[in-house]
Amino acid sequence: MEKTASDIVRERLLAKKPSELTDEQKRLVQIYRDPDWFSPERVTARREEVAAWYEKKDAKKRARKARHKTNVKLIRLSRVKVKRTDVAPRSGDWHVYFVHAPLAGRVKIGVSRDVAGRLHALNQQSAEEYILLGWTKGTYTLERAIHLALDEHRVRGEWFALTPDELFVNFHDPVFD
């Protein structure tokens, strides 16, 4: 019977002195010398070990996401003053904007320094014509807080299943000040 490449590698590793081996190679030698390594019980145990490792990793990820959500200051939307206009600001300040997709019946809540440019980019990327509903001064923190406050209406990402009227019922209207 002809030797395979793995047989040759195994022989060479087993012939080397332990001091000449890397940690990975030492692990391989340990595997090659252990006759029970491929027994069904050992394979099952290793699978359970790997599954436990992934579960621990996922738990850490879920905990990190939960911390991220709780770090956001919860706000009362009635305190956010939204300028309801279709004229977008073109300044260097950060703004949280509200864009309506009439055909989809959805509202996008995003943040940008150039709301007019962002609206133009959105319209270039879609066959649908998006309409600017309004904006307010604010950064990612305010945007994230608004997203959390409206989380039950979230469809995906920054898109929410709301009509403009449903959206602005929650916000402070500076027109009536």
Per-residue pLDDT tens listing for the chain (177 residues): 687 777 787 788 778 887 888 888 887 777 777 777 777 888 888 888 888 888 888 888 877 766 655 444 455 555 566 666 666 666 678 888 889 998 888 999 999 988 888 888 888 988 889 988 888 888 888 888 888 888 888 898 899 998 888 877 766 554 433
CA distance 111 to 101: 17
- Beta strand 106-112 with 154-156 is unpaired
CA distance 26 to 20: 9
Parse the chain into domains and list their residue ranges. Answer: 5-66, 77-176
Note the pLDDT of residue 175: 42
- Residues pairing with 109 in the sheet: 98
- In order, the DSSP letters of 71-139 are HSPP--GGG-B-B--SPPP-SSS-EEEEEEETTTTEEEEEEES-HHHHHHHHHHH-SS--EEEEEEE--
